[in-house]
């Protein structure tokens, strides 16, 4: 009987530091990274078992990167990291002395983390065809579609996926642990290494501007980058729309080729950033790949896929015209990677969707949809998509996350007031911020757009209560959109994090209402005479 547990990967410390940071001995590199006070004889011949940047996740044999952040300095946790088994510490400070393990001083701790992670795992992106998907909206759906087109129904792993909603190697997958579009460099390279070791050919990585600016993707060698669109977001992090655009364009520049949205007003900036061959797609502009004769049905979309040479009919089992653009991006990218049009379209028709992306939870007695829409532009699209489905009214439950761009809050409130008949503002990962202040900003945005509290919008701080309120007010023919949480499996409050499943919460609320109606002998209705109901 053999042990199924894979062996722990180890790398010699001296070789890792030389590969990742250029530190040769007696302990300094041309770029200035150094091991103060050490020479080759002083450096122990240690084996490294991994890279960690959270002291609580250090395991024996790890290199600990003591990053200096906005709120915490990893150097404050050196005793804990060393006690847990760290064999080396990497950081930017020049006043660290007296450690029981070597201290490597670097100029950029985030870049060092990326370099160390890539080197420790043997630079896995070099052994894969790595495709990035970036943009403001549509990244997750496009990345998931592309993975599906590449993987098909093959039993063996052919493609991997690292995205906001799911991490997959082949067909097997699980939700990500944290609320990051792109995880830290340590997790990125660990995923790519696992994909490589599983025999995967293509790796699809959802690439965010945060990740780019924070160096999480600095040592990923992208073969192709697909770009969906650009609308204002994360301006609290980037400072301006131009800086945000430049961060996204930098991801395109990092790849050997690009697939770009010709319809987007910012297309020229991304085309200028592209290094290699560019393939364009569009619904309205002239492009290499176009969609024409789009028909929206109750269960999906149909369109003509038009290339320079031919026209084929495509079926997409998703709702929302914007998903045609996502499908075009995925189709164009898959074809660039060698998937024939006929195969790609056959697989497209069998796409099962993305958890939390226009996810249809119920159709009776009301339609309930869960979607990740969390920006003003994304919410507008989601509401406009669902409006034609509403035989009655359109209700939306939404919040705005804390520790994220506060300028989005009024915009979300305004979008809800303009696009829905009734909005219920509630919590959405308030984190360390005041939930009361976030809800007030949403309400202010709604009022500025003509909303009236108690009539066209309400405030219910508890999200479970907000979902129950919306479904209790809904009547047959109404559509209820639960926006913002989507696929996420936790709700981050000021006093801690709790498990969360938006679709399950909606089903539970519907079941409770059905049980109440059964006991009462009739269907639940909103309060008589309530204009907001």
**More reliable by pLDDT, 212 or 350:** 350
2: buried, middle or exposed (CB in 10 Å: 19+, 13-18, 0-12)? exposed
Please state, as a whole number, how many other Cβ atoms lie within 10 Å of the Cβ of residue 243. Answer: 15
Euclidean distance between CA atoms 421 and 267, whole angstroms: 35
The dihedral of CA 44, 49, 50, 56: what is its sign? negative
pLDDT at 179: 46
Reported confidence tier of residue 533, pLDDT bands at 50, 70, 90: very low
Euclidean distance between CA atoms 450 and 459, whole angstroms: 16
pLDDT at 27: 55
Please state the φ and ψ torsions of residue 23, each to the nearest 5 degrees.
-80, 110
> Shortest CA distance to 209 belongs to which of 155, 305, 139?
139
Euclidean distance between CA atoms 460 and 456, whole angstroms: 14
pLDDT at 166: 84
Euclidean distance between CA atoms 438 and 402, whole angstroms: 7
pLDDT at 371: 92
Dihedral (C-alpha) 111, 117, 120, 121: value to the nearest 10 degrees? -130
Q: Return the percentage of the chain with pLDDT > 70, whole number.
A: 90
Q: List domains and CATH numbers for the chain.
A: 11-120 (3.40.1390.10), 124-348 (3.40.1190.10), 359-520 (3.90.190.20)
Strands (E), 57-209: 62-65, 88-91, 103-105, 129-134, 159-162, 167-169, 172-174, 202-206
**More reliable by pLDDT, 530 or 104:** 104
- Geometric angle at alpha carbon 386, from 383 and 389, rounded to 5°: 150
Token pair listed for 61: 């044999």
DSSP string over 354-412? -TTSSEEEE-SSSEEEEE---SHHHHHHHHHHHGGG-SS-EEEEE---TTS-THHHHHH
Q: Is the pLDDT of residue 532 over 50?
A: no
Q: Between the CA of residue 262 and those of 126, 282, 383, 489, 510, what are the distances in Å?
A: 30, 5, 24, 35, 42
Q: What is the pLDDT of residues 59-106, one digit of tens each?
A: 999 999 999 987 889 999 999 999 999 999 999 999 998 899 989 999
Chain-wide mean pLDDT for the chain? 89
pLDDT at 176: 61
pLDDT at 209: 77
Please state the φ and ψ torsions of residue 315, each to the nearest 5 degrees.
-120, 130
Q: Is the pLDDT of residue 518 over 90?
A: no
Query: What's the whole-number mean pLDDT along residues 381-410?
Result: 90
Dihedral (C-alpha) 434, 435, 438, 444: value to the nearest 10 degrees? -120
Q: Is the pLDDT of residue 528 over 60?
A: no
Q: Is the pLDDT of residue 38 over 60?
A: no
Reported confidence tier of residue 233, pLDDT bands at 50, 70, 90: low
Question: Which residues have CB under 8 Å from 386's CB, separation 6+?
Answer: 367, 369, 394, 479, 481
> Tokens 């009539």 appear where?
455
Q: Between the CA of residue 509 and those of 123, 423, 460, 465, 513, what are the distances in Å?
A: 48, 18, 15, 9, 6
Reported confidence tier of residue 42, pLDDT bands at 50, 70, 90: low
Token pair listed for 415: 């979008």
CB 475 within 8 Å of CB 525: yes
CB 152 within 8 Å of CB 343: yes
Please state, as a whole number, how many other Cβ atoms lie within 10 Å of the Cβ of residue 232. Answer: 18
Q: Is the pLDDT of residue 2 over 50?
A: no
pLDDT at 346: 97
Q: Return the percentage of the chain with pLDDT > 90, whole number.
A: 67
Euclidean distance between CA atoms 33 and 10, whole angstroms: 23
Which range among 171-185, 402-416, 514-528 shows the weakest confidence by mean pLDDT?
514-528
pLDDT at 211: 76
Cα 278 to its chain centre, rounded Å, is 24
Q: What is the pLDDT of residues 143-169, one digit of tens each?
A: 999 999 999 988 899 999 999 878 999
Q: Is the pLDDT of residue 203 over 90?
A: yes
Token pair listed for 143: 């990345």
SS3 56: helix
Please state, as a whole number, how many other Cβ atoms lie within 10 Å of the Cβ of residue 453. Answer: 13
Q: Is the pLDDT of residue 223 over 70?
A: yes
Query: What's the whole-number mean pLDDT along residues 425-431?
Result: 94
> Shortest CA distance to 399 belongs to which of 379, 419, 377, 421?
379
**More reliable by pLDDT, 300 or 192:** 192
Which range among 15-24, 333-342, 508-517, 519-528 shows the weakest confidence by mean pLDDT?
519-528
CB 65 within 8 Å of CB 74: yes
Peptide bond into 475 cis (omega under 30): no
496 DSSP β-pair partners: 493
């Amino acid at each position: 009987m053999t042990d199924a547990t894979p062996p722990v990967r180890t790398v010699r410390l001296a070789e890792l530091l030389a590969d990742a940071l250029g530190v040769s001995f007696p302990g300094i590199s041309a770029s200035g990274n150094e091991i103060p006070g050490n020479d080759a004889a002083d450096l122990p011949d240690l084996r490294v078992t991994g890279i960690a940047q959270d002291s609580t996740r250090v395991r024996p044999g790890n290199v600990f990167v003591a990053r200096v952040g906005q709120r915490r300095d990893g150097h404050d946790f050196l005793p804990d990291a060393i006690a847990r088994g760290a064999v080396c510490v990497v950081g930017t400070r020049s006043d660290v002395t007296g450690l029981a393990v070597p201290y490597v001083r670097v100029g950029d701790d985030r870049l060092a983390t990326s370099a160390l992670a890539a080197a420790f795992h043997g630079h896995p992106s070099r052994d894969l065809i790595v495709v990035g998907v970036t943009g403001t909206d549509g990244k997750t759906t496009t990345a998931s579609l592309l993975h599906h087109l590449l993987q098909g129904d093959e039993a063996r792993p052919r493609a991997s996926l690292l995205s906001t909603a799911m991490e997959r190697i082949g067909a097997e997958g699980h939700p990500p642990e944290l609320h990051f579009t792109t995880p830290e460099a340590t997790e990125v390279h660990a995923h790519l290494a696992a994909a490589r070791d599983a025999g995967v050919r293509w790796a699809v990585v959802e690439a965010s501007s945060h990740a780019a600016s924070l160096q999480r993707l600095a040592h990923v060698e992208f073969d192709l980058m697909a770009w969906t669109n650009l609308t204002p977001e994360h301006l609290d992090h980037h400072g301006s729309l131009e800086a945000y655009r430049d961060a996204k364009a930098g991801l395109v520049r990092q790849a050997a080729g690009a697939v770009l949205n010709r319809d987007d007003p910012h297309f020229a900036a991304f085309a200028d950033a592209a290094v290699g061959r560019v393939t364009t797609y569009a619904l309205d502009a002239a492009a290499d790949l176009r969609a024409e004769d789009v028909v929206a049905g109750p269960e999906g979309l149909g369109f003509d896929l038009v290339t320079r040479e031919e026209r084929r009919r495509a079926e997409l089992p998703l709702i929302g015209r914007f998903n045609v653009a996502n499908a075009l991006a995925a189709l164009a990218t898959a074809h660039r990677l060698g998937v024939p049009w006929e195969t790609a379209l056959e697989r497209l028709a069998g796409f099962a969707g993305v958890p939390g992306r226009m996810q249809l939870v119920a159709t009776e007695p009301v339609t309930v949809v869960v979607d990740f829409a969390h920006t003003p532009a994304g919410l507008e699209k989601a509401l406009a998509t669902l409006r034609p489905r509403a035989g009655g009214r359109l209700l939306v439950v939404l919040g705005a996350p804390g520790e994220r761009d506060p300028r989005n809050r009024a915009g979300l409130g305004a979008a809800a007031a303009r696009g829905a008949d009734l909005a219920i503002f509630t919590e959405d990962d308030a984190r360390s911020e005041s939930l009361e202040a976030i809800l007030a900003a949403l309400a202010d945005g709604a009022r500025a757009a003509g909303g009236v509290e108690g009539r066209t919008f309400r405030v219910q701080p508890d999200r479970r209560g907000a979902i129950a309120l919306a479904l209790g007010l809904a009547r047959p023919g109404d559509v209820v959109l639960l926006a913002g949480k989507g696929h996420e499996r936790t709700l981050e409050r000021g006093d801690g994090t709790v498990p969360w499943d938006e679709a399950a919460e909606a089903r539970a609320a519907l079941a409770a209402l059905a049980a109440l109606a059964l006991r009462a002998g009739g269907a639940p209705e909103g309060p008589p005479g309530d204009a907001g109901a």
